[in-house]
Structure 1
Amino acid sequence: MSKVCQYFFAPHSPWAYLGHARMVALAKRHGVQIEVRPFDLGKVFGVSGGLPLAKRAPQRQAYRLAELARWSAFLQIPLNLQPKFYPVSPEAAARLIIATRLALGVDAALGLAQAIMAGMWAEERNIGDDETLVQIANACELDGRQLLKSSQTASVQAEYDRNTEDATAASVFGSPWYIVDGEGYWGQDRLDFLERAFAGAAGQG
């Protein structure tokens, strides 16, 4: 029986963007199923003591930029340190990813998530804009207009809210956050440990 990785992320997170493709590849290599769980990072910050970027001390903001630059160069993943459309509301993008998973499955949702995050962090696109999201989905060979309509339904909002509640219950306090066999891993810089968990989990399946 294959193991499961719960993947909690916010689509406007640069760290989720830097780790997304590598995490997907690792899960595929080890036969691990991914649960795609976009959540409201702002609400989680509110109950876990986190601060939105604008409210963090200047030295923390400066170090964040230095680390993003280091990781972008190390991974050879293009990333604009201060994208034109940031900060931005991630809710529409998160709901679109959820709607895609419900309609088309995990792989389609993961592909769309990658495109949305790259759109924001590498292509200077506004992922808070409905028309931009439709264009990104269409470029993934999805029906962007129909998925956008689906993303605005109560059932999709309910799943988004449930993801956020489950993240809080699981003591999640950042993005990305991966959970395997009840153990949490915070950040794309924990992917080496996540791979060990995948390998151990796969060996027991």
Structure 2
Amino acid sequence: MSLTCDYFLAPPSPFVYMGHARFIDLARRYDVQIQLKPIDLGRIFSGSGGLPLAKRPPQRQAYRLIELARWSKFLGLPLNLQPKFFPVAGDPAARLIVATQLAHGTEKALELVAAVSKALWVEERNIADEATLQSVAEHLSLDGKALLAASSGASVQAAYDANTDEAASAGVFGAPWFVFDGQPYWGQDRLDFLERAFAEARNAQR
């Protein structure tokens, strides 16, 4: 029996950036199919009591920077703690990822998630800018112009809205968020627990 894991994400999240490659590696190692679901984190926050970064108390903002630096060093991942284009609207990139998923499948969309995250957190690029998104897509040998056009279409918006509605129904309140075997896992720092769950599920099938 195939195993699947829901992967709810918001493209601007630094924690998506830090956990993305590791999650994909885990899914491949345990032969778990990824159900990619980009979401509108602003809508999720409004329904769950979450606050965008600029509205959080100073002590929470300060600790966030400490955690980002700590994890960046621990994982050996480059990261600009305060990139030039952040905070940034996540909708344009999320819709582009959805459009790519619909047109080319989940694997290519996952590649685009990685490239968009890197553009923001390493390369100091504006992922809400159409020219930037087109360039990022074309670097992956995708037709960026066509995908951008598709990303403004009704089918993409409907899929994006459905992902966000599903996230709200599942109790999601942050990103990245994983749901496996009915259990939620919030954040890249919960991937060890998710791996244990993958291993247990795989062992149970043997």
TM-score above 0.5, yes or no:
yes
* Structure 1 residues 17-56: aligned runs within 5 Å: 17-56=17-56
- After TM superposition, give the deviation of residue 202 of structure 1 in Å: 2.2
- Structure 2 unaligned runs (5+)? none
Q: Secondary structure at the match of 2:132?
A: helix
- After TM superposition, give the deviation of residue 4 of structure 1 in Å: 0.6
Distance 2:55 2:122 in 1: 24
- After TM superposition, give the deviation of residue 119 of structure 1 in Å: 0.3
1:107 aligns with 2:107: yes
The amino acid that maps onto 1:164 is: T
* Structure 1 residues 1-205: aligned runs within 5 Å: 1-205=1-205
- After TM superposition, give the deviation of residue 142 of structure 1 in Å: 1.0
Aligned 8 A contact 1:2 1:202 in 2: no
RMSD of aligned C-alpha atoms? 0.7
The amino acid that maps onto 2:115 is: A
- After TM superposition, give the deviation of residue 2 of structure 1 in Å: 1.4
Aligned 8 A contact 1:10 1:176 in 2: yes
Q: Secondary structure at the match of 2:116?
A: helix
- After TM superposition, give the deviation of residue 204 of structure 1 in Å: 3.5
Distance 2:199 2:146 in 1: 38
Distance 2:41 2:146 in 1: 26
The amino acid that maps onto 1:176 is: P
Distance 1:173 1:106 in 2: 23
The amino acid that maps onto 1:54 is: A
Aligned 8 A contact 1:12 1:120 in 2: yes
Cα deviation code 1:95-153 (max 9, x no counterpart): 11011111111110000000000100000000000110000000011111111111111
- After TM superposition, give the deviation of residue 203 of structure 1 in Å: 2.6
Distance 1:151 1:199 in 2: 36
The amino acid that maps onto 1:84 is: K
- Structure 1 unaligned runs (5+)? none
Q: TM-score by structure 1 length?
A: 0.98
Q: TM-score by structure 2 length?
A: 0.98
